[in-house]
Amino acid sequence: MGKKVALDGNAAAAHAIRQINPDVIAAFPITPSTQIPMTVSSFIADGLMDTELVTVESEHSAMSACVGAAAAGGRVMTATAAQGLALMWEILYIASSMRLPMVTVIAARALNAPLNIHGDHSDVMGARDAGWIQLFCEDAQEVYDSIIQAIKISENKDVLTPVMVVMDGFNTTHSVEVWEMEEDERVKEFIGEYEPKYPLLDVSRKITYGAWAPPSEYFEHKVNQLTGIIRARPVVKKVGEEFGKVFGRSYDCFELYKLDDAEYAIVMMGSAAGTAKDVVDVLREDGVKAGLLKIRMFRPFPAEEIKEALGNVKVVATLDRVIPAGAYGSPLFNEVRSALYDAPKRPMVIDYIYGLGGRDIQPKHFKEVYENLQRIAKTGKIEKMLDFINIRGKWGK
């Protein structure tokens, strides 16, 4: 039986890592993910796990060592945030292109400048096309559960693609919550053993990794690399269901909250979805047909399922926690709106940006969004395609 514990998101990640006991971790401290390698170090110091911890001199070297270790052959993990993920960027593509399974826990945080250590999705969105599977978590329980599932997803023989498990910096990393920790043995049994397919350390095979591909070869390589991440879609669902059978908490690529008959829907990811659900409940009591679509798997993007889930909604608001300077819309807006383009009854979609650099989003803000959606449904007019939640002053002039 699992046990209820009261610990924060970073501790949830550290305990999942302890139970997974990966062969190698290469990590570098950065707020707000620092507690993950710190706690893991104390677990190793106390003999609770025997991972080789490579305490690298930068995140660039962290991801490089992860690539070296994963190619050598074995289970590899790391954790980072913000500037750290940005510094890893070059090597993220190499990890995914070499089809190396590994799991990186991200404490999503704002990017400089100005310096800000608090939560938003700027860092992760910068890596959204790096070929990694991205799973966004709402709370500590989801972080713990998703890290365990991510090992299985990443190592699936049809997938062999690295996974980012994303939680919101401070909102989730540093909030103490009650969640259920499973028994060590049952977690180990769930993830099973990993047999690397092409280990460098199998010296009899003399594998070459990272050859260079001229124009006559490169394009096919890149298209073939898509196979793994596309195949991840059913695997994420299947592993989420298996997890539910064993531990009683099932997962899909997204979560539909009171969306069946909803006329007004918010689409979002991460910790603020919890607040949105409370607001939906309150509005439902007042007879407003509000609903929520919380996306868990942003990469690969589950477009078909989303098209179906939002097919009967009148107006949709996407809430992004990143500012994509110069783009027509925010990442979630563009994906959702594009997915809906050929839906039989296409809802109107508007774009909101919230929570940059740790700015609060409160129930009243969600209420305002739902009020705006009702107004648009009534008048058929969209006044602002893009708006910012909870900021001072005017913008756009």
Partner 1 sequence: MAFLNDLAKRGERFAPGHRLCPGCGQSIIVRALLNITDYEIVIANATGCLEVCSGLFPYTSWCVPWIHSAFENAASTIAGAEAMYRVWKRKGRTDKDIKFVALASDGGTYDIGLQALSGAMERWHDFLYLCIDNQAYENTGVQRSSASPFGANTTTTPVGKVKRGKEQRRKDIMSIVEGHHIPYAAQASLHNWRDLMNKIKRALDTKGPTYINVLQPCCTGWGFPPDMTVEVARIAVETCAWPIYEVVDGKVKINYKPKKKLPVEEWFKMQRRFAHMLKPENKDLLGRAQELVDEHWEWLLKREAAGL
Where on the chain is the footprint of partner 1 (CB under 8 A)?
23-24, 26, 50, 52, 54-58, 60-62, 64-74, 76, 90-91, 94, 200-203, 205-214, 217, 221
Q: Give the nearer residue to partner 1 in terms of CB position, either 54 or 159.
A: 54
Q: Which residue, 50 or 360, has its beta carbon nearer to partner 1?
A: 50
User: CB of 51: closest distance to partner 1 in angstroms?
Assistant: 8
Tell me how far, at minimum, the Cβ of 70 lies from partner 1, in Å.
8
Which of 108, 75, 100 lies closest to 9, judged by CA? Answer: 108
Crossing angle (nearest 10°) for helices 35-45 and 9-20: 40
Q: Residue 215 or residue 396: which is nearer to partner 1 going by CB?
A: 215
Q: For residues 352 and 117, give the distance between their C-alpha atoms in angstroms, rounded to a whole number.
A: 22
Q: Regarding beta strands 76-80 and 24-27, do their DSSP bridges make them parallel or antiparallel, or are they unpaired?
A: parallel
Determine contact, residues 358/169, Cβ cutoff 8 Å: yes
- Cβ-based nearer residue to partner 1, 85 or 295: 85
- The SS3 call for residue 366 is helix
Task: Provide CB contacts within 8 A for 273, sequence distance 6+.
Answer: 138, 255, 257, 292, 294
Measured from the CB of residue 56, what is the shortest distance to partner 1 in angstroms?
Answer: 6
Do 111 and 86 form a contact (C-beta atoms < 8 A)?
A: yes
Name 25's bridge partners.
Answer: 53, 77
Say if residues 264 and 328 touch (Cβ distance below 8 Å): no
Residue (21 or 122) nearer to partner 1, CB: 21
Nearer to partner 1, 214 or 287 (CB): 214
CA distances to 74, 101, 204, 228, 370 from 198, in Å: 10, 11, 11, 16, 51
CA distance 366 to 237: 29
Q: How far apart are CA 258 and CA 46, in angstroms?
A: 46
Q: How far is the CB of 94 from partner 1 (least distance, A)?
A: 5
Instruction: Write the burial class of residue 266 (CB in 10 Å: 0-12 exposed, 13-18 middle, 19+ buried).
Output: buried
- In the complex, minimum distance from the CB of residue 95 to partner 1, in angstroms, rounded to a whole number: 9
Give min distance, CB of 156 to partner 1, in A: 21
Work out how close the CB of 102 gets to partner 1 at its nearest, in angstroms, rounded to a whole number.
10
CB of 99 to partner 1, least distance (A): 13
Q: Smaller CB distance to partner 1: residue 67 or 369?
A: 67
Residue 38 or 343 with smaller CB distance to partner 1: 38
Closest CB 67 distance from partner 1, rounded Å: 5
Nearer to partner 1, 59 or 120 (CB): 59
Other Cβ atoms within 10 Å of 247 Cβ, number: 17
Q: Give me the residue label for tokens 């919380």.
A: 294
Distance CA 313, CA 259 (A): 8
